[in-house]
Copies of this chain bind each other. A is one copy, B any other.
Amino acid sequence: MNKIITIGREFGSGGREFGRRLSELLGIAYYDQEILSEISKRTSLSEQYVQAIVEHRPSFSFPIHIGQSFYPLGNPAFEQTMTVYQEQERIITEMAAKSDCVIVGRCADHILRAFKPFRIFVYADMHSKMKRCCEKGPEDEQLSDKELRQKIAGIDKKRAKYYEFYTGHPWGDKLNFDLCLNTTRTVIKEIVPAVAKIFA
């Protein structure tokens, strides 16, 4: 089996840790922040700006997949967003063509569909995501439970909108994945060897 593995994940579910550990165990490349750096290099936009763009869908009412002819040309913000997205698409495709890899987020499951990647979605219940956030980020410890819940839900809402805008598919729908992994009761370190065995 080829080892092009894409990982979608809910915020706080440990999807990034899972992806990193899986790539290490399989001895293949892991792409996450590297993609932003490369986009930034190629577009001469700052990494922060690129990050902001790839975390929001453009505020236009029609989706990208209906075709280029509808783009409101002449709108610089929209054009920059499209440039970033197209560059991201190009970079992810180049990376997958170059070697086996794990790619976290960034609609990679959709972008790489011609490669027939193994598509994983990592999720967890809210309580477990809140706990993980507090363990990982001291800034989340300052938030009340309500605020933290809102933060997590808000980030996932943005991811869902972004994914749906660019792919035309609902975010997190299990039919779009080969394997969905609930980390609520699972120790990530312990489940990784099992998942790695799929590619053995």
Return the chain B residue nearest A197 by Cβ: B194
A158 at the interface (CB under 8 A from B): no
Return the chain B residue nearest A181 by Cβ: B179
Q: CA–CA, A189 to B64, complex, Å?
A: 39
Within 61-118 of A, Cβ neighbours of B (below 8 Å) are at: 116
- Main SS of chain A's interface residues? mixed
A197 adjacent to B193 (CB under 8 Å): yes
A182 adjacent to B178 (CB under 8 Å): yes
| Total copies of this chain within the assembly | 2
Nearest-neighbour CB distance to chain B for A82, whole angstroms, equals 31
Question: Shortest 4 CB-CB distances between A and B: which pairs?
Answer: A180-B180, A194-B197, A194-B198, A178-B182
Return the chain B residue nearest A199 by Cβ: B194
| Interface band, chain A | 20 to 34
A179 adjacent to B177 (CB under 8 Å): no
Known: A197-B193, A197-B194, A198-B194. A116 touches B174 (CB 8 A): no
A123 at the interface (CB under 8 A from B): yes
B182 adjacent to A177 (CB under 8 Å): yes
A125 at the interface (CB under 8 A from B): yes
Q: CA–CA, A198 to B193, complex, Å?
A: 8
Return the chain B residue nearest A123 by Cβ: B174
Set of chain B residues within 8 Å of A59, measured between Cβ atoms: none
A185 at the interface (CB under 8 A from B): yes
Set of chain B residues within 8 Å of A125, measured between Cβ atoms: 175
